Amino acid sequence: MGTYGREPLSQQDVDAGLQALDGWTFENDAISRTFVFSTFREAMSFMVRIAFEAEALDHHPELNNVYNRVRVSINTHDAGNKVTELDMELARRINHFSWI
């Protein structure tokens, strides 16, 4: 596990980080993205893959699934529910293995 900052990022740093994260947005003090798959099975397997990355970082996102859609929302509870570099790293990892 790498060491990633758990201090809240400034809005400027959040905005800069999002420029390199396709599909992610900032809202309600979290970064979020919705992934749409062909089937429920694909959506569920994607959520399992996220679980492995989250465990590796000891950082756990909020996941919401409805049929073939998975909404991921990430912030750091230990940082007052703000966005940190750890959140950005998890989002980068999710984008890296996403097949959509």
Is the distance from CB of 97 to CB of 49 less than 8 angstroms? yes
**Cα–chain center distance at 70:** 11
pTM of the model: 0.94
CATH number at residue 50: 3.30.1360.20
Q: How confident is the model over 60-89, as pLDDT tens digits?
A: 999 999 999 999 999 999 999 999 999 999
The domain tally of the chain equals 1
**Does residue 86 fall inside a structural domain?**
yes
Phi, psi of 62, rounded to the nearest 5 degrees: -90, 125
H/E segment holding residue 25: strand 25-27
**Does residue 66 fall inside a structural domain?**
yes
Can you list the alpha helix ranges (DSSP code H) found in the chain?
A: 11-19, 40-57, 85-97
